[in-house]
Chains A and B, each alone.
Chain A
């Protein structure tokens, strides 16, 4: 087939709509003050639903970090943060966002000023420090949603503590906005949130088909709505459309990469400033990253969520997320994904910016290799700070890994 036509055919149509939605979302957020709306900055794993129910616009500094990374503006902003006294080893999202706030820089000229900050520490301890810094800078109230780490179990006292905080959180929002939470509206938002997460899972699940209609690189992009607009009708509608498109692709046998020869699993955050480069590199060898631990984290705790009693189930759902559990449990989940998506290899991004995600990866790698008998590749980099990306070294390693996969594929299967 003509290469050009083929590329066109493989383009995901929903991309355009997603871009529109995100553009409107940011315009809405940036003009919030003019429309008498309040803005809350919230962490990516934070409990957004009560904000939606109270008409507060959630804004995600981490999503902003990803945009900064993707527009290759990370280095400049990180350097600026370093000049402010922040160590170069700190999270590059945090560094970028902290310095960006002082100059209104970055790809969208800075985020709208927050009226409040909501920090859920289920993803890391970094966000606590980051949000403290922003609370001092913007002089706005900060709510910390403290989700105890579940090394091996989710204890009853943890549930009690987090459940109480759900009430404290609502009280906090009511105080800041001077409005009461409408419980019916809250229930509706809860249902929409669960529906959105289910649809997102269904979208990701279409990659179990061969060839996979979407890759992790596509998921990195389409993830934006389940993060930023979770709990809205808009997110549900969008993912319904995306799911339909993916199902159609499955029917038409359209794969994310031209000739899918290898199916791989990605671990950790994307390397935002090199997604295209990496995507092309893998695709050129017929390797498709069919799933990843990152984008699936936004539907990973669905089993704890009750759409009919959202506020009650929220405590558990927001505590038992992928990064807030022990390394062995993470390895077990990666193993399950290997089976589910029939992956033949594991690509791990050892991300200097993210300690809870990266420390422990070597053990996950060994466990998954041993349990599933698949090879793996470790890439040393950083999600936003390009100075920690050594292109030639990574290229060599990827090529060696894909060669190895090729050899394994051609080998007769052991009896």
Chain B
């Protein structure tokens, strides 16, 4: 398991190097994407590898000519990587409709980054009506045609079912690993868990599924050993993390050093990627739709049902209800909001989520950060103060 983690750490640290290696070793091309609403199943069905972009980590030199400083660092870092030519190894990049900044990132990428194809998947913003459902399905249908055209591969319903199953496997395994660690947080550090999630969004999904299977099996074995010695890990304060993208390989280390541990999350680079899709799509819908012969409907349904991103609308109070129930279900004692500066959808939701938590007497801490992380000393002090409070 140590070996697998080492491999995943290397992949998560240098995703594009991985993309080049995958291509040279297997001929498989990678398709970049910027949001967890990307219908990865269709990319996989086209024989390509969906690869999540997080952007450069170093200095930004080119993006200032295209984006103001009040655009979030995620969008700025992604555009910088394209402008630098880092993404040249990709067959193309997909932009699902999410927030205002991502929407403009798509335009600026199309106009300024020359390598590979550029595709938009203009998903609906509201997810609550029949017509939005129908439109979601239409968008996926168009995306399949776009992928067929760009990759020169015909995507059959059989390919889609296979891709759907593979992605389901990846998502279910991530869910299983989360569940095991939630029960016994000492099994795995938070930073390692984030690495596993990130690597799973980058790697060839078949390879990812194999590695995740091994990790889950290893954790399962360890769980039995650990539970033989109850008490370990019970001293740290269990937390839920809520926000957008977490791209800080050492953030959990700081939280854990301060006496806390994130046992579950509502993050784009976390449980929103797999929860709900992992639980629900395997059952009845799948069989009904299989009879009807339309995998894209099932895929659309899985995205409509998943934990919602605040840039989309799935009801007025659904996020608060979800977060409170996650706190209860996972036995968390507090919530850490992890907000990227200039991320509007999350910032707008914060006061109402805060009120919902206050009502339930659940303590919370807001960390508004940019990439790169602020000085660790300052973060440590705030985290320690919060742990003392709860």
Contacts and interface: CB of A to CB of B under 8 A. Distances in A.
Contacts of B313: 128, 132, 144
Interface string A332-357: 00000000000000000010100110
A98 to B, nearest CB: 9
Interface string A234-277: 00000000000000000000000000000000000000000000
A358 B103 CA distance: 12
Interface string B274-306: 000000000000000000000000000000000
Interface string B93-130: 00001011101101110111000000010101110010
Given A148-B122, A161-B124, A327-B111, A86 B342 contact: no
B27 interface: no
B371 interface: no
Interface stretch (A3-11, A119-127, A221-229): A119-127
Interface string B80-101: 0000000000000000010111
Contacts of A108: none
A16 to B, nearest CB: 38
Contacts of B112: 363
B156 interface: no
Given A136-B317, A363-B66, A157 B348 contact: no
A94 B138 CA distance: 33
A160 B135 contact: yes
A135 B368 CA distance: 26
A372 B64 CA distance: 23
A397 interface: no
Given A85-B354, A146-B125, A149-B122, A130 B66 contact: no
Interface residues of B, number: 50
A225 to B, nearest CB: 28
B306 to A, nearest CB: 18
B126 A161 contact: no
A360 B104 contact: yes
B142 A326 contact: no
B344 A126 contact: yes
B227 interface: no
Residue from A136, A161, A165 having most chain B Cβ neighbours under 10 A: A161
A87 B120 contact: no
Given A144-B313, A350-B68, A89 B104 contact: no
A103 interface: no
Nearest to A367: B111
Interface string B57-71: 000000001111011
Nearest to B119: A151
A328 B139 CA distance: 23
Interface string B133-145: 0110011011000
A327 B112 CA distance: 11
A165 B131 contact: yes
A303 interface: no
B108 A363 contact: yes
B37 to A, nearest CB: 14
B22 interface: no
Contact of B347 (A89, A135, A157, A326): A89
B351 interface: yes
A222 B97 CA distance: 34
B350 A85 contact: yes
B183 interface: no
A125 B344 contact: yes
A127 B68 CA distance: 21
B108 A327 contact: yes
B384 interface: no
Given A144-B125, A161-B132, A355-B101, A90 B347 contact: yes
B310 interface: yes
Nearest to B65: A362
Contacts of B347: 86-87, 89-90
A84 interface: yes
A355 B344 contact: yes
Interface residues of A, number: 48
A133 B354 contact: no
Contacts of A124: 100
Contacts, number: 145
Interface in B322-378: 339, 341-342, 344-345, 347-352, 354, 368
A90 B348 contact: yes
A129 interface: yes
Contacts of B187: none
Given A151-B106, A157-B142, A359-B68, A164 B111 contact: no
A130 B351 CA distance: 12
Contacts of A358: 68, 70
B125 A151 contact: no
B316 interface: yes
A136 B351 contact: no
A157 B316 contact: no
A394 interface: no
A155 interface: yes
B311 interface: yes
Given A87-B368, A126-B344, A133-B348, A360 B107 contact: yes
Contacts of B342: 89
A132 B316 contact: yes
B110 A151 contact: yes
A157 B122 CA distance: 11
Contacts of A150: 122
Contact of A355 (B104, B111, B131, B350): B104
Contact of A356 (B104, B134, B345): B104
Interface string A306-321: 0000000000000000
A168 interface: yes
Given A144-B313, A355-B101, A151 B107 contact: yes
A142 interface: yes
Given A89-B342, A157-B138, A160-B138, 17 more contacts: A85-B351, A89-B347, A91-B344, A94-B348, A121-B125, A130-B348, A136-B316, A148-B122, A149-B122, A155-B142, A161-B131, A168-B129, A168-B131, A350-B68, A356-B100, A359-B71, A359-B108
Nearest 4 pairs between A and B by C-beta? A129-B348, A85-B351, A157-B138, A161-B135
19 contacts: A85-B354, A87-B350, A89-B344, A90-B348, A125-B99, A125-B125, A125-B311, A128-B125, A133-B348, A146-B124, A151-B103, A158-B135, A160-B134, A168-B131, A327-B107, A355-B100, A355-B101, A362-B66, A363-B111
Interface of B: 65-68, 70-71, 97, 99-101, 103-104, 106-108, 110-112, 120, 122, 124-126, 129, 131-132, 134-135, 138-139, 141-142, 310-311, 313, 316-317, 339, 341-342, 344-345, 347-352, 354, 368
